[in-house]
Amino acid sequence: MVDTEEILQELLTVEAELQDVQDQIKVFLDRQEKLYDRKSELKALLESCEVSACEIKDAATGTSENWSGEFEWDSRANDVRLNVFGITSYRANQREIINAIMSGRDVLVIMAAGGGKSLCYQLPAIMRDGVALIVSPLLSLIQDQVMGLAALGIPAYMLTSTTSKDNEKFIYKALEKGEGELKILYVTPEKISKSKRFMSKLEKCYNAGRLSLISIDEAHCCSQWGHDFRPDYKNLGILKTQFPSIPLIALTATATKKVQLDLMEMLRIPKCVKFVSTVNRPNLFYMVREKPSVGKMVIDEIAEFIQHSYSDNESGIVYCFSRKECEQVAMELRGKGISADYYHADMEANSREKVHMRWSSGKLQVIVGTVAFGMGINKPDVRFVIHHTLSKSMETYYQESGRAGRDGLPSECLLYFRPADAQRQSSMVFYENCGLENLYGIVRYCQSKTECRRSAFFGHFAEPLQDCNEMCDNCSFSNEVKETDVSGHAKVMVSLLQDIQENDQRVTMLQLVDKMKVKNKGADPELKKDELEQLVVQLILDCVLKEEFQHTAYTTNAYVTVGPLAKQVLQGKKIVKIVSRLQKNSKELVKASKRNRSSELELKLDELRKELSAVQGGIFPHSVLSTPQISRLSSQRPITMKELENIIGKLKTEKYGSKILEEIKRYESENQKLDQFADCSLSKEHRRNHAKKLKSAKNLVVVKSSEDEG
Ligand SMILES: Nc1ncnc2c1ncn2[C@@H]1O[C@H](COP(=O)(O)OP(=O)(O)OP(=O)(O)O)[C@@H](O)[C@H]1O
Ligand SMILES: [Mg+2]
């Protein structure tokens, strides 16, 4: 007689095993799908690598065009570049893009944040006859650009909800009748989709042959696949239909292959010339630090970092998770003597604008913001971006951290990571399409102690690897890590979780860690709380554990449960390791960024640009002189107007030349006096050599330029 009890028992075991196999198959199928995706990305990458750098293939005709050759407008373009914009040489792809636009072609530009996209349409806008139409998503971005152009004496206007009646009249007259001086007109996408009046004036401008080019800035907003879709951008296809003969240039900092195709279709530019630059930002030093569990200690570290490395009031951003946290962190930083204020979506537009203005004009050092402090930021000399909490994906982290160093000078991106923060984020993003998958991408980035941070970005954006030049913490300190086999601990953790689940209970990550701490007593090695947290996250990333979410009326709770690959750990088939970095003190880490302090003359010129912008009103200090220009002035110390012109161009020389030369002269004569008092035992020759050495030690990293930026 067969024992039914036994059969039932075996049936249960078989069912459990089947479930286990099915779970594993699911994991492998997911993995297979990702590998197929990656395979096609890599194939596409290989194809694009085979196209030579200067022969950019025309997407439609398949013919090669050389946009780096000589063109009839070369010398005029060089003149405008230097003498109007004060830019001494082009950066990668700028000249080629300008040539394509000047040749009347539609162009799609993918160029990293701070790569210099604005020049690509502003320079042709000045050179071509008529009015250029620029579509840009945010009022603050538009105001910033118009102010900057006005400071250069370029007739630029904007037509937005804030435009005065007089200005509106002027703009409409200029469009309709060609009266008045108008070269560049900024609008938000709503103007195109909602204002019939505006479109009819634009039509008249076009019919009279006075529309010079159309530019769609932040073009990724067109695509639903992009990271910042805006519905009004969807209607911009009308521009090419209405004005087919006008060159259209679409620009964005990041666009996957899918987004690029989407943009070409939506904007109706199938025959466009595409310029894709690297996502690499060689001047940014990336680092991740373990975030202490005590809030006050995090602030202490951040304050020390800022005071130690940025004592000359250099600008920075601190990103926080919530509005409340922004206010708290800003207050605590102020308590430590740092000039900081907060910025988030709950504030009145007016006070938000005020904070932004104070920061842009150098009166406030640090903005503590939520992600709402985003695309509108146009400040080129942000020296550090600190993430108090991790971002929700690699893409958003690239965008947010990328607000540092848009002027090409060395800058730092520091992310504070604590596993508990990952769980805070996961309960916010789990309902988004691919939300958890994206979050786990950045969590992997944070957990890694050995992989180059830059390589993680190259991998994410499917780009061939480039040298990091030790511009990330992992490349700088890759040898100083310790690996610990914690397979035994993982096994205990999984069984503990199974027991909990069998009793119909649930635990959050922190509860699990607390329970583990008790079980872990006396284990070899006995893991500390933060190591146990790290282990939980590691096991979630490896599908040994998984997160589950439960909604209440007010919040969403994230729990940790047993995942599809738990059996592998229980059966000892999976080795689990955690990696930790041997303790480095923060000052040593700071040194790694190869940043140099501003010289005394640089500080004086910085003061001068603030004064000049305040006197002039309506422009920011960086529009008077950029930080790279200040560096060059300080190292080359021009004496004559002509010498100055070679560094900052004619226009700025005419406007500010005498004050700048005066400042340099004053500095030189004060220094000479000091020299005379200096220790006479130090020969002049000795001092000169010393000065030379100091100068050559200055290790500036600038965004790669097509010529020497001088
Ligand atoms: N060839 C150049 N040489 C030196 N500086 C340049 C050059 N081109 C642009 N810049 C400067 O680089 C900074 C960033 O330029 P820009 O605002 O055009 O960047 P962007 O590509 O539009 O970035 P984002 O995606 O963040 O908007 C500006 O201060 C600009 O003046
Ligand atoms: Mg831009």
Residue that is written with structure tokens 């991408």 in the block: 441
Beta carbon of 86 within 6 Å of any ligand 1 atom: no
Instruction: Identify the pLDDT of residue 12.
Output: 87
| Selection from 550, 556, 565, 566 nearest residue 499 by Cα | 566
Instruction: Identify the pLDDT of residue 708.
Output: 38
Note the Cα 114 to chain centre separation in Å. Answer: 9
Q: What is the mean pLDDT of the chain?
A: 86
Going by the DSSP 8-state scheme, the letter that residue 130 receives in this structure is S
Q: Give the integer Cα–Cα distance in Å for 369 and 317.
A: 7
550 burial type by CB count under 10 A (0-12 exposed, 13-18 middle, 19+ buried): exposed
Beta carbon of 111 within 6 Å of any ligand 1 atom: yes
Beta carbon of 652 within 6 Å of any ligand 1 atom: no
Instruction: Identify the pLDDT of residue 669.
Output: 87
Residues measured by CB to lie within 5 Å of ligand 2, the ion = 117
For residue 702, give Cα distances in angstroms to 283, 407, 410, 672, 680: 6, 8, 7, 31, 38
Beta carbon of 626 within 6 Å of any ligand 1 atom: yes
C-alpha 118 to ligand 1 mean position (Å): 6
Amino acid in position 93 = N
Instruction: Identify the pLDDT of residue 431.
Output: 81
C-alpha 150 to ligand 1 mean position (Å): 17
Question: 247: cis peptide before it, omega within 30°?
Answer: no
Instruction: Identify the pLDDT of residue 51.
Output: 44
pLDDT for 25-61, tens place per residue? 888 877 877 777 777 667 666 665 554 333 344 444 4
The dihedral of CA 38, 43, 44, 48: what is its sign? positive
Amino acid in position 707 = E
More confident residue, 587 or 320: 320
Could you tell me the end-to-end alpha-carbon distance of the chain, in angstroms, rounded to an integer?
94
pLDDT for 3-26, tens place per residue? 888 888 888 888 888 888 888 888
Instruction: Identify the pLDDT of residue 20.
Output: 80
Q: Give the integer Cα–Cα distance in Å for 35 and 39.
A: 6
Beta carbon of 91 within 6 Å of any ligand 1 atom: yes
Q: Give the integer Cα–Cα distance in Å for 173 and 192.
A: 18
258 burial type by CB count under 10 A (0-12 exposed, 13-18 middle, 19+ buried): exposed
Q: Which residue's alpha carbon is at the smallest distance from atom 22 of ligand 1?
A: 117
pLDDT for 403-450, tens place per residue? 999 999 999 999 999 998 998 899 888 887 788 989 999 999 999 998
- Of 19-23, 464-468, 605-609, the poorest mean pLDDT is in 19-23
For residue 316, give Cα distances in angstroms to 129, 269, 303, 360, 402: 40, 38, 12, 10, 12
SS3 readout for 416-483 = EECHHHHHHHHHHHCCCCCHHHHHHHHHHHHHCCCCCHHHHHHHHCCCCCCCCCCCEHHHHCCCCEEE
Instruction: Identify the pLDDT of residue 479.
Output: 67
Q: What is the value of pTM for the model shown?
A: 0.81
Q: Give the integer Cα–Cα distance in Å for 233 and 592.
A: 42
The partner residues of 660 in beta bridges, in order of sequence, read none
Instruction: Identify the pLDDT of residue 671.
Output: 81
Note the Cα 244 to chain centre separation in Å. Answer: 34
The partner residues of 318 in beta bridges, in order of sequence, read 368, 386
Amino acid in position 253 = A
Q: Enter the ipTM.
A: 0.99
Phi, psi of 14 (to 5 degrees): -60, -45
